[in-house]
Structure 1
Amino acid sequence: MSFTALHRALGLPPGPLTNDVLDAAVSAQVVETHDLDWKSELPPVSGISQTDVPKDVAAMANSGGGVIIYGVRESQKAATERIDAGEFTEIHERAYRSAAVTAISPPIFGLEIHRLGEDPHAVAVVVPPSIDGPHLIYKNDLFGAPIRNDADTAWMKERQIEAMYRARFDERLHVTQATDSLYAEAAGYHDTSAHALFVAVATPRIPNVSHRLSRDDARRIYRDAQKIALTYSRNVGVHPLEKIEILNPRTGLRRWVADTAPTGEANWQEARASVHHDGSVSLVAAVGGHRKTATEYFGGHEVEARGIECAVADFSALVRAASSVSDLSEYDVRVGIEWSGIGDLRFLENDAQGNAFDSTARALRIFSPVRTTLIASESARDFHGQVYQLAEDCVNQAGISHLHVLDPVPEEE
């Protein structure tokens, strides 16, 4: 659900941005503000990065986010009537999104684009809030940082730019601390001396504050995540999300928790996931001591590489599913393997038949946490690429070069 300047001006609760909402805003002659910009015409597809699009989008992001509406005529900043903005084709949309990434630094991801009505056509571009400001635009050898000044666009002064950089670095530190705190909490809930544990947490760069997740929301996230994970990976190995009670999550401290019923210290299928009201997610799963044969098990320190791949796929899918429910985009991520038992961690590869072998993988006493940023609002293909890279970072640390469970990123058509 969205809550835009139009919803606020009309006194509406969070909800979809529809053609009826736009009609009501125009009828009420809603006035432009720092987070609402009326435009009569769409920019041309050709040379879109040389138009005002980068400036308009960067100004909105630098001002806390907002919505740009194409297809509305205004007078004295107030909407007066709808006019046809022209058809917004898929090519037009790709060019628009590309301009927000290539013509703005740092790039702006996660634009929401809504096509509203057919006669007349209108397009609403929702620019998300950003903590990566100031976003700069370049023209030839010059650059500037645009910002909304009420209904107008202005240019930041040096002190404003300095203050925004300081805010960016402070916010990044805050997010990192929040991620580390969530990681320590997730890892601390489990015994790491019986079997090695995969621990992964993701904290949204901008938390969700608009609504609390319901139990139905949590069920939907877990159910969708199971399906999404299998679009990245083959259904082999141990997928943690298949071992948890996704239909009966229990309430926790500002979160919904789903876990397996423990059967003792040697529970090789142990898994626990949580989705938080602020958009954070965590996944903890046993990756050591998996079943070797019908009657044999690996040692608690022995970790199959494919088990890590399955866990990364499930965790990333959980992030993707949670982001769609909470309308979030950018996540700070920390992934690790915790082991406090006797002996070094020993990583095992799997052959084409799924049999584990020692190969050239090396033993590790400590697995260094992998840190990254996941952009959950990216296209399915681009997000697949992020998942693949995260899994590679995890197994490469043990000297393993190739992934066996995750599918390569599909070629562009």
Structure 2
Amino acid sequence: MTFTALHRVLGLPPGPLTDALLDEAVVAGATETDDLDWKSELPPMKGLPQTDFPKDVAAMANSGGGVIVFGVREVEKAATGRVDVGEFDEAHERSLRSAAITAISPPVFGLNVYRLGTNPRAVVVDVPASIDGPHLIYKNDYFGAPIRNDSDTVWMKERQIEAMYRARFEERRHATETVDKLYSEAATGRNSTQRAWLIAVAHPRVPRFHDRLTREESKAVLAGAEALTLTFADRGNIHPIENVDRHNPRPGLRRWVAVNAAAGERAAWKEAWISIHQDGSVTVAAAIGGSRVRDGYRGGWEVESSAIECAVSDLLALVRKAAEASDNDDYDLRLGIEWTGEQPLIILTVDAGGYTYDGGSIPLHRYTPVEATVNASEPDEDFHRHVHDFAQDCVNQGGVSNLLLIRPPARDESTQQIPAQG
């Protein structure tokens, strides 16, 4: 569900951003604020970085996020009517996203662009809150940091820029501490002296707090993730999400917990736990060493690379679905393998004949947690590529070069730029 400045000015709960919603805001004569900006015309594609668009986006990002609405007339900052913005195709949308990345430093990622109506047509650009401020605009040899001052865009003074840099560093420290805490909680109590455990956590960089997730909503996240993960990695190994009770999540401290369903001593090798937090965070803890093989069990220090792929796939599928339910976008990820036994950790793969192979493995006395940031609301193909790349980093650490289950999505040749002919 989406919650924007248009919902706020109308006193509405989170919901879809629709043409009717925009009409209602215009009829109400909604006035511009620090998170709502009316524009009558779209900026042209040609020379877009030199228009006011980058400055407007940077100002919104520096002010905690907001929406820029193209296709609304205003008088003294109050909406008075709709204006047709004309044709708006995918190339124009890509230009808007590109300008927010290339013409602003640090870039503003995660713009949501909505097309509303047909006659008249409007375009809404939803700028997310950012912890990377101040976002700067460069003009030749000069730069400035724009910010919203109620309904106006102004330039920050030196002290404001200094304060925002301090806030950036403080937010990053806080985000790191939050991920540390999630990881520690998920790792606590695991029998890592008997078998290696995979611990994976994801936390939204700027959590958007709305209504608490209900049990039914958490079940929907789990069900959606169960289906989505199989589009990233098939059942070539054990998926942690298939070994938890997905149909009866239990309440925990500001979270829902899908408890382990692999009960009994014979199933202990595939024990798993998943939690979905009220702020959109997710955690996965799964036994990953000592897996069952044809003639018994592997050593607790022996980890199959394809099992890591399945866990990565589950984590990112949970992130995708939790983000949809909690209206989040950018997530910080961390994945580690906890093993405290005497033997060094070994990540195994298979050879061309399908037999277990450890000839290229690097014995690890400590697995260094792998970290990344991903935009959970980006297009399917881009998100799938992040799943692949994150999994690749996770297995590479153990000397394994190739993924076995997760394949990168095929590139859409129609979106590739064609070099200009000289």
For residues 367 and 15 of structure 2, what CA distance do their matches in structure 1 show? Answer: 44
1:171-219 Cα distance to aligned partner (Å, 9 max, x none): 1000101100110110003221221111001111112311211112111
Tell me what 1:206 maps to: 206
For residues 230 and 52 of structure 1, what CA distance do their matches in structure 2 show? Answer: 44
Tell me what 1:111 maps to: 111
The 1:305/1:25 distance shift into structure 2, 3 A limit, reads same
Tell me what 2:138 maps to: 138
SS for the counterpart of 2:284 is strand
Compute the TM-score of the two structures, normalised by the length of structure 1: 0.96
Mapped pair 1:87 → 2:81: no
The size of the alignment, in residue pairs, is 412
Counterpart amino acid of 1:327?
A: D
TM-fit CA distance, 1:352:
4.5
TM-fit CA distance, 1:409:
3.8
SS for the counterpart of 1:178 is helix
Tell me what 1:361 maps to: 361
TM-fit CA distance, 1:354:
4.1
Of the structure 1 ranges 200-209 and 348-357, higher mean CA displacement relative to structure 2 is found in 348-357
Counterpart amino acid of 2:277?
A: H
Tell me what 1:175 maps to: 175
Tell me what 1:230 maps to: 230
For residues 367 and 5 of structure 1, what CA distance do their matches in structure 2 show? Answer: 44
Tell me what 1:15 maps to: 15
For residues 139 and 234 of structure 1, what CA distance do their matches in structure 2 show? Answer: 50
Counterpart amino acid of 1:219?
A: K
Contact 1:339-1:345 within 8 A present in 2 as well: yes
1:64-107 Cα distance to aligned partner (Å, 9 max, x none): 11111111100111111111111321111111111111111111
Contact 1:2-1:16 within 8 A present in 2 as well: yes
1:284-334 Cα distance to aligned partner (Å, 9 max, x none): 1111111211x4211111111111111111111111111111111111221
Identity of aligned residues (%): 57
Tell me what 1:254 maps to: 254
Tell me what 2:101 maps to: 101
TM-fit CA distance, 1:124:
1.2
Of the structure 1 ranges 136-145 and 260-269, higher mean CA displacement relative to structure 2 is found in 260-269
SS for the counterpart of 1:163 is helix
Tell me what 1:291 maps to: 292
Tell me what 2:278 maps to: 277
For residues 371 and 229 of structure 1, what CA distance do their matches in structure 2 show? Answer: 20
SS for the counterpart of 1:360 is coil
Mapped pair 1:36 → 2:36: yes
Counterpart amino acid of 1:214?
A: T
Counterpart amino acid of 1:200?
A: A
SS for the counterpart of 2:366 is coil
1:342-379 Cα distance to aligned partner (Å, 9 max, x none): 32212211234543222220211211111221221222
TM-fit CA distance, 1:396:
1.4
For residues 338 and 173 of structure 2, what CA distance do their matches in structure 1 show? Answer: 24
Of the structure 1 ranges 179-188 and 105-114, higher mean CA displacement relative to structure 2 is found in 105-114
Of the structure 1 ranges 51-60 and 13-22, higher mean CA displacement relative to structure 2 is found in 13-22
For residues 208 and 265 of structure 2, what CA distance do their matches in structure 1 show? Answer: 36
Tell me what 1:4 maps to: 4
The 1:237/1:94 distance shift into structure 2, 3 A limit, reads same
For residues 236 and 46 of structure 1, what CA distance do their matches in structure 2 show? Answer: 49
Counterpart amino acid of 2:389?
A: Q
The 1:353/1:326 distance shift into structure 2, 3 A limit, reads farther
TM-fit CA distance, 1:2:
2.2
For residues 68 and 291 of structure 2, what CA distance do their matches in structure 1 show? Answer: 52
Contact 1:289-1:299 within 8 A present in 2 as well: yes
Instruction: Please show how residues 40-79 of structure 1 align to structure 2 within 5 Å.
Output: 40-79=40-79
Tell me what 1:315 maps to: 315
Of the structure 1 ranges 200-209 and 230-239, higher mean CA displacement relative to structure 2 is found in 230-239
For residues 355 and 327 of structure 1, what CA distance do their matches in structure 2 show? Answer: 44
Contact 1:35-1:65 within 8 A present in 2 as well: yes
Contact 1:197-1:285 within 8 A present in 2 as well: yes
Counterpart amino acid of 2:360?
A: T
Counterpart amino acid of 1:271?
A: A
SS for the counterpart of 1:389 is helix
Contact 1:194-1:266 within 8 A present in 2 as well: no
The 1:351/1:242 distance shift into structure 2, 3 A limit, reads farther
Counterpart amino acid of 2:71?
A: G
For residues 287 and 206 of structure 2, what CA distance do their matches in structure 1 show? Answer: 30
TM-fit CA distance, 1:266:
6.3
SS for the counterpart of 2:405 is coil
Tell me what 1:159 maps to: 159
For residues 183 and 350 of structure 2, what CA distance do their matches in structure 1 show? Answer: 29
SS for the counterpart of 1:118 is coil
For residues 220 and 65 of structure 1, what CA distance do their matches in structure 2 show? Answer: 28
TM-fit CA distance, 1:265:
8.2
TM-fit CA distance, 1:141:
2.3
